[in-house]
Amino acid sequence: MSVPDAAVNSLLQNLSQVCTIHRDFLESNNKDIISSLVRELRTLKGVLGDFVKYGDGPDGNEQFKELMKETRSIVNEVEDEVDRFIAMSTEQKSRTISKVLHSISGYTVANRKAAKTIQDLGDKLRNFIEVSLKNAYSLVQHQAVVHELGRQRTNKVFKVEEDHVIGFDEAGEEVRQLLTEGSEQLEVISIVGMVGLGKTTLARMAYKDPVVDYQFMIRAFIRISKEFDRREVYLEILKSIMKISDEVTTMSGDHLEELLCQRLEGRQYLIVLDDVWEKRDWDMLKSAFPKNNRRCRVLITTRNTEVANYANARIYKLGFLKLDHSRELLRWRVFHQDSLPQELEMYEMEIVMKCDGLPLSLVVVAGILLNHRDRSDWWKHVANSVSELIAKDHTQSTQLIELTYKHLPNHLKPCFLYLGLFMEDFEIPVWKLVRLWIAEGLISEEDGGTLSLETLAKSYLEELISRNLVMVGRRRSNEEIKTCRIQNTVKEFCKKTAMEENIFQEIKNPSMFSDQFRRICITDVGVLKQLSSNPSGSRARSILFCSHDESPAEEKIGSAIPKSFQLLKVLECDSLVFTRFPLALTRLVLLKYISISSRSSVIPASLSALRYMQTLIVKTISPTLEIKVDVWELPEFRHLHTNASTMLPYPSKEKQNETDKNIQTLSTISTELCRKEVFDRTPNLKKLSIGGTLAELFVVQGESSFFDSLSRLERLENLKLLNDKVSRRLSSLPSPITFPPWLRELTLSNTNLEWKEMTVLGKLEKLEVLKLKEFAFRGNFWETEKGGFRCLNFLRIGQTDLLIWKVSSDDFPRIRTIELVGCDKLQGLPPSLADIPTFQSLRLNCTNPQVASSARRLHVLKLKEGARKQGGSNFKLSIYPPDY
């Protein structure tokens, strides 16, 4: 039921744009038609909300499915016509005055024709609401009480720790020994177990083990899909161990096998092949792994014992969780602690017994329990109904996921299914996912109240994680989620359900294409070439080109896409590399999101025609980029992401309007652009990255300076200052009061400041994360000034010539994590760090044995402190290489 509701939200957003951006093109009669249509849609949204409240549950029937299918069809029909009207109006606006006068008669006829079509569809929608939907209430009223359970949104979302692995300590140690000990010959190790036991989790745990990491300098972790492709596997392994050239990407499977064998010969390697399905898969791969006397290992995971025996593997049989571990896992997933209210223990035991030690079952059931974790009647309901769903095969694991999906709040369902678009075992960048959800119309301003769309989207993701449908990949320094991913069984469910509801289609060959789908995921550039030459995508709103490797894009692809997919709003193709920006894309006037790679250093001004642009992402091989697009005149523009120092047009001093408040991200912009008029136009900027010759920013011009303007950015939370390596060092930092007042994260690179300047940063009252990349500071001695860094919880120090670091026990009162990378001249760590109560984690990467020894002593002190307080110590120490 979620899809029609999402379609209604998308259409309402479109009509809002018609009434604002194109109000000068609307005749009075058209305005009345659109206002009437908005009222009908709001009525429909209310009706759908009631159906979700009472009718969408495990007992839902085919009548509802047909009703929702019909609802989606008519809403999409209206949206098609509205989008065509918007595209026509936008194109008309972009013409010169002479062309407008020349075609005004034709435009008026087209305008009235579109209005008449929209009016007819509005009448059809009104009749549908009155006759079909309202009469259908009788189908659901008897389910109201049962299906009210699980409909409330979670008030508090617990953070799911991706490294909180339960019950695998013993298994992890045994697999580690199999990998690092034993014969000097090549050995195949296999983790065998049924679906849902956690084979991949265990393999990743062993792969990331510091001892394993150190012993195998050449490593690769490769997911083997059910539709096995030998050539793609070889490419993925090679990408993990070497830089891939264009020549390599075009090699045949046999030549890739020969190249891989050459690269591995004589070296100690570990290759993980995750989820091998058939014996023939191993037959096709095994000849690429040379049998040298270097204690090399190939680790495979499989649900098929015959595969492991056929590979002549040393088998680790992964069993079910013990009862205590099962209870711990369920409690952790539901309550984020190893305890629960006493009145729930009876139902907990029944659930745990029925799950029979299967982690996937426990995790999915925990997602169902989460919404009403304190209600004994809900636990009883789940305990009674879950029995027939718990089984140890793929089909019934999918049933468990379906049960959780049915209990999702309506606003989460389309967001969840959307995750099926991404590649298998792919870690999805959260910032990109949020931008896509917004551009796709899956995030409604009406649901957020005063929250920004970005904040609302992140809260949706947190809800999906809390229900154990989405896994955390990596976290940022401030503990925010950086990447996420979904388990492959969950992905397959998303794809299947999305296909059934016409949400998206994954196309692996042109014959699979259907014009019914609004979103298209393409995995091969050859498919895109063939689809682009066939103008049949009139209903498509999104194209996502998903590939592990970059592919060169022929110029004709860029010109063909607008001909075939005129109503596109999302174009994600950063793995396609264009020689220059395809000008034809500017005809896609409805585009809200574009991610593109180009060898060119210029983005043309004609892109200014894309009036609905929200997000622009550009990757280039050039160190600098000039974007001639007047982003200041794009009324919905929010985010700019580039990997080069970027120049934009200067904003007009005369024109300032409400649209300036939308811009939240400028990353990465040139120092030349850092002027007062730019920051005056971006009062709600949250993330700013600046690259170039930073010394230019420290020169006072007239009565103002760069930092005077920066201090007025009251919402700026993340600032990066990336100095050119060839630039001269900065002499000093300005006063702390000239930094943005709410700055939470600061990154410096190649600034070559003296350590005494850290006193300035220590006085930034809100600073939580400080990343000092290579040679941000220079000098042999740093003594932390007392009373500084009152809120800092993460400190990273990159390559530096620092020798001595002095810290008192009163410094860094909230520090949790310190990370040192490449500090190979440092003589040791300050022992007083052990006296900071909040200090929980120390990570060393390529420092020196002296620093490693002092870190181990510090670890012992933290352990003694924990024992003295009788609470134990959670302090984590990571040293690489481990033999330091």
Indicate whether 39 and 119 sit together in one domain. Answer: yes
| Helices within 95-143 (DSSP H only) | 97-128, 134-135
Per the domain annotation, does 225 fall within a domain? Answer: yes
Name the residue range of residue 557's domain.
502-648
pLDDT exceeds cutoff 60 at 556: yes
Q: How far apart are CA 648 and CA 665, in angstroms?
A: 13
Indicate whether 468 and 536 sit together in one domain. Answer: no
687-733 pLDDT, tens digit each: 999 999 888 887 655 445 788 888 889 999 999 999 987 667 788 88
Per the domain annotation, does 867 fall within a domain? Answer: no
pLDDT exceeds cutoff 80 at 141: no
Question: Model confidence at 100, in pLDDT bands (50, 70, 90)?
Answer: very low
Per the domain annotation, does 51 fall within a domain? Answer: yes
pLDDT for the residue 97: 42
pLDDT for the residue 23: 56
pLDDT exceeds cutoff 70 at 833: yes
Indicate whether 174 and 264 sit together in one domain. Answer: yes
Q: Pick the last residue of a domain from 115, 148, 181.
A: 148
Indicate whether 108 and 234 sit together in one domain. Answer: no
pLDDT for the residue 677: 87
pLDDT for the residue 201: 86
Indicate whether 189 and 286 sit together in one domain. Answer: yes
Q: Pick the last residue of a domain from 317, 346, 371.
A: 317
162-197 pLDDT, tens digit each: 445 777 888 888 999 999 988 888 999 999 887 777
519-554 pLDDT, tens digit each: 888 877 777 777 666 656 668 889 998 877 788 888
Q: Which residue has the higher pLDDT, 827 or 387?
A: 827
The predicted model gives 221-241 an average pLDDT of 85
pLDDT exceeds cutoff 70 at 453: yes
Q: Phi, psi (5° rounding) for residue 293?
A: -90, 55
pLDDT exceeds cutoff 50 at 198: yes
pTM of the model: 0.79
pLDDT for the residue 388: 58
Q: How far apart are CA 611 and CA 528, in angstroms?
A: 26
- How high does pLDDT run on average in the chain? 81
Contacts with 168 (C-beta within 8 Å, 6 or more apart), sequence order: 198, 201, 202, 205
Indicate whether 517 and 640 sit together in one domain. Answer: yes
Nearest of 355, 346, 482, 507 to residue 421 by alpha carbon? 507
Q: How far apart are CA 310 and CA 301, in angstroms?
A: 13
Q: How many CB atoms lie within 10 A of CB 737?
A: 10
640-655 per-residue burial string, b: 16 or more CB within 10 A, e: under 16: bbbbbbbbbbebeeee
pLDDT exceeds cutoff 90 at 437: yes
Q: What is the CATH number of the domain that holds 422?
A: 1.10.10.10
Per the domain annotation, does 762 fall within a domain? Answer: no
pLDDT for the residue 405: 83
- What is the distance, to the nearest Å, from the Cα of residue 875 to the centroid of all Cα atoms in its chain? 29
Q: How many CB atoms lie within 10 A of CB 27?
A: 12
331-377 pLDDT, tens digit each: 888 888 888 888 888 988 988 888 878 787 788 788 888 878 888 88
Q: What is the CATH number of the domain that holds 510?
A: 3.80.10
pLDDT for the residue 96: 46
Per the domain annotation, does 551 fall within a domain? Answer: yes
Q: Which residue has the higher pLDDT, 596 or 118?
A: 596
pLDDT exceeds cutoff 50 at 32: yes
pLDDT for the residue 147: 39
Q: What's the one-letter identity of residue 191?
A: I
Indicate whether 18 and 45 sit together in one domain. Answer: yes
The predicted model gives 507-516 an average pLDDT of 75
375-396 pLDDT, tens digit each: 888 888 888 877 655 544 556 6
Q: How far apart are CA 302 and CA 194, in angstroms?
A: 8
Q: What is the CATH number of the domain that holds 312?
A: 3.40.50.300
Strands 841-845 and 804-806, bridge-based pairing: unpaired
Task: Look up residue 635 and give its DSSP letter.
Answer: T
Nearest of 153, 196, 144, 168 to residue 467 by alpha carbon? 153
The predicted model gives 148-159 an average pLDDT of 32
Percent of the chain with pLDDT strictly greater than 70 = 79
Indicate whether 549 and 441 sit together in one domain. Answer: no
Per the domain annotation, does 453 fall within a domain? Answer: yes
Indicate whether 551 and 595 sit together in one domain. Answer: yes
Q: Which parts of 103-217 are beta strand (E)? A: 187-192
632-678 pLDDT, tens digit each: 989 899 999 999 999 999 988 766 655 567 899 999 999 999 988 89
Per the domain annotation, does 719 fall within a domain? Answer: no
Indicate whether 508 and 442 sit together in one domain. Answer: no
Q: Pick the last residue of a domain from 606, 622, 648.
A: 648
Peptide bond into 489 cis (omega under 30): no
pLDDT for the residue 15: 66
Indicate whether 127 and 205 sit together in one domain. Answer: no
237-257 pLDDT, tens digit each: 998 888 888 888 889 999 999
Per the domain annotation, does 101 fall within a domain? Answer: yes
74-88 pLDDT, tens digit each: 777 777 777 887 777
Yes or no: say if 644 and 623 are a contact pair by the CB < 8 Å rule.
Answer: yes
pLDDT exceeds cutoff 50 at 41: yes
3 state DSSP class of 778: strand
Indicate whether 560 and 450 sit together in one domain. Answer: no
407-430 pLDDT, tens digit each: 788 888 889 999 988 876 678 999
pLDDT exceeds cutoff 80 at 591: yes
Give the containing element (helix H, strand E) for 72: helix 62-94
821 beta partners: 845
Yes or no: say if 65 and 73 are a contact pair by the CB < 8 Å rule.
Answer: no
Domain count, the chain: 4
Nearest of 474, 553, 488, 90 to residue 543 by alpha carbon? 553
